[in-house]
Amino acid sequence: MKRVVILISGRGSNMQAILEAKLPVEITAVISNRPEAKGLEIAAQHGIQTVVVDHRKHPSRGQFDAALAEKIDSFQPDLVVLAGFMRILTEDFVNRYQGRLINIHPALLPAFPGLDTHEKALQEGVRIHGCTVHFVTPTVDHGPIISQAAVPVLPSDTPDTLAARVLEQEHLIYPEAIRWFAEGRLHLEQNRVEMNILQASTYSLRSPWSA
């Protein structure tokens, strides 16, 4: 059974979705860079060991990443899952976990990397928005894409309503991607994810759409 460590910074809603999905993995720890992160309480309620590596106690990004990596490695994970972990990681850290470090981003990458993705989507007038699960590379919000989910952007949307609709999809595709990894269905080939998964070839999402 694959061993998984989850990293969080806040409320941990994606972490909670992963825990409640009852995946065929052993979640060995939830680690946060913030001792006040609400997600730590949720993890503890699920019987998961929690750890804090406070970034404010380390004078440099590199020193924090080294301390974080030391703690992660103590759990010997096969996969490290970023679930709302709000830290930019150094190249050395990312390369240490190459091919076994994944993230979810609230946009259809490569569109709208960084913060405020829902505001940006509305400002640009896109008709379809969504989320992306990807392997992490040293370039922020970039890397081989595992899966994506899309939602229509409605004329009445605000950043909050759009974020809520996207978050529902995040909670579906992130556990699914972890399951695929655990089952050996994902393989990195020349910076591209090859998947042993049957997919429908005729489905499409259009927005706007009229019946």
Catalytic residue from among 55, 105, 129, 171: 105
Are 45 and 110 in the same domain? Answer: no
Q: Is residue 15 part of a domain?
A: yes
Residue 161 within a domain: yes
Do residues 116 and 157 share a domain?
Answer: yes
Q: Looking at the structure, do residues 14 and 80 belong to the same domain, yes or no?
A: yes
Q: Are residues 9 and 92 in the same domain?
A: yes
Q: State the chain's maximal CA–CA distance in angstroms.
A: 58
- pLDDT the model gives residue 169: 97
Same-domain pairing of 85 and 169: no
CATH number at residue 79: 3.40.50.170
Determine which helix (DSSP H) or strand (DSSP E) holds 104, and give its type and residue range: strand 101-105
Question: Could you tell me if residue 119 is inside a domain?
Answer: yes
pTM value is 0.95
Whole-number pLDDT of residue 206: 85
* H or E stretch at 81: strand 79-82
- Residue 60 buriedness (CB in 10 A; 0-12 / 13-18 / 19+): exposed
pLDDT tens by residue, the chain, 211 residues: 999 999 999 999 999 999 999 999 999 999 999 999 999 999 999 999 999 999 999 999 999 999 999 999 999 999 999 999 999 999 999 999 999 999 999 999 999 999 999 999 999 999 999 999 999 999 999 999 999 999 999 999 999 999 999 999 999 999 999 999 999 999 998 889 999 988 777 778 888 876 6
Q: Are residues 88 and 143 in the same domain?
A: no
Overall domain count for the chain: 2
Round to whole Å and give the CA distance between 193 and 54. 33
Q: What is the model's pLDDT at position 98?
A: 95
Q: Helices 159-182 & 13-20, crossing angle to 10 degrees? A: 40
Rounded CA separation 147/195 (Å)? 10
Q: Could you tell me if 58 and 130 lie in one domain?
A: no
Residue 211 lies in a domain: no
Same domain, 10 and 93: yes
Q: Looking at the structure, tell me whether residues 112 and 90 fall in a common domain.
A: no
Residues 18 and 85 in one domain: yes
Domain end residue (candidates: 70, 97, 124): 97
Give me the domain span that covers residue 52.
1-97
Indicate the pairing of strand 128-135 with strand 145-152. antiparallel
86 and 53 belong to one structural domain: yes
Closest C-alpha among 120, 157, 159, 7 to residue 68: 7
pLDDT value, residue 107: 98
* pLDDT given for residue 210 in this prediction: 67
Looking at the domain assignment, is residue 11 inside a domain? yes
Domain boundary among 97, 117, 133: 97
Q: CA–CA separation, 90 vs 50, rounded Å? A: 23
Complete DSSP assignment for 140-176: TT-S-EEEEEEEEPPTT--HHHHHHHHHHHHHHHHHH
Residue 118 among the catalytic residues: no
The domain boundary, picked from 82, 97, 112, lies at 97
19 in the same domain as 4 = yes
